[in-house]
Amino acid sequence: MDRLRNLGDFNHNVDVLLSGSGTLVAGRMINRSGQEYFAADFLPCKYCLGFFNRKELWRHARHCEATDDKPFCEKDVQAAGKLLLQVAGVGIGCFASADPELVKYIIAPLQQDNESEFIKTDRLLMLFAQVLFARLGRERAADIRGRLRYTARLALNDGLSMDDIIGPDHFDQVVRAVRDMSGETGSKTLNSCDEFSMPHVGLKLGQFLKKIAQIKHSRAIRDRDVQRRQDADDFLQVTEGS
Ligand SMILES: [Zn+2]
């Protein structure tokens, strides 16, 4: 029940931040010296979706009643809160109308082929592009395009959308594809692990998929899409175990 109310408050707060008008529903609106916080000072808790001043978010998360796992580090808690807002469109423009800077510096220069076509039409991959662009900026354009292409290649190998990949039905198939792209040799290493000729590819893809799963989770919260949120959670849980 609390979660439902928080989800309503979360979406209300996102609307306030997007429109720049209205009042946030948040933990504490006034600091110790009696000054009002700015809306931009707040971040949502990734567990309960309540809004807290970013400096107090950490302390809240350690005692948040919506979860039993205790976060390890302040940066992770803030990063998760930021991602929830970003993916909802706060600060980076909305997914529906792709950020013109993103299009100009990252998407338009992509050479025309299957991969670039896939990147442009896959909703989750475009969100991934926006999150990368917001973090790395146009100086890292080539790096960003490289990450997008790797991920697109993985999806195209299996004929799946990113939404399919971050879900329960294709997990084994995706693991198989990542192993292929990492150049599985069929031999064993000295400590009897499977050997790969390009292990860094697998590691990178693993990181990208984890980030995309977090994006799917964040977007599903904003869209009130219970099924997608669950699929993303399941994916994250399975990958954390492996
Ligand atoms: Zn919380």
Could you state, in order of their start, the residue ranges of all structural domains in the chain?
A: 2-87, 100-241
Write down the pLDDT at residue 209: 95
Write down the pLDDT at residue 231: 94
80 CA distance to ligand 1 middle (Å): 12
134 CA distance to ligand 1 middle (Å): 25
59 CA distance to ligand 1 middle (Å): 10
Write down the pLDDT at residue 40: 74
Q: Give the number of other Cβ atoms within 10 Å of residue 181's Cβ.
A: 18
48 CA distance to ligand 1 middle (Å): 4
158 CA distance to ligand 1 middle (Å): 38
Write down the pLDDT at residue 99: 77
41 CA distance to ligand 1 middle (Å): 16
67 CA distance to ligand 1 middle (Å): 8
> pTM value?
0.80
76 CA distance to ligand 1 middle (Å): 14
11 CA distance to ligand 1 middle (Å): 15
Write down the pLDDT at residue 116: 93
162 CA distance to ligand 1 middle (Å): 29
87 CA distance to ligand 1 middle (Å): 19
Write down the pLDDT at residue 105: 92
180 CA distance to ligand 1 middle (Å): 40
Write down the pLDDT at residue 103: 86
Chain centroid, CA 31 distance in Å:
30
143 CA distance to ligand 1 middle (Å): 34
123 CA distance to ligand 1 middle (Å): 28
66 CA distance to ligand 1 middle (Å): 6
Write down the pLDDT at residue 215: 93
Write down the pLDDT at residue 241: 60
Would you write out the chain's pLDDT as a tens digit for each of its 242 residues?
A: 566 778 888 989 888 888 777 888 887 777 777 777 777 788 999 999 999 988 889 999 998 988 887 777 888 899 899 888 888 877 644 444 567 888 889 999 999 999 999 998 898 999 999 899 988 999 999 999 999 999 999 999 889 999 999 998 898 999 999 999 999 999 998 888 899 999 999 999 999 999 999 999 998 988 888 999 999 999 998 887 65
Write down the pLDDT at residue 187: 92
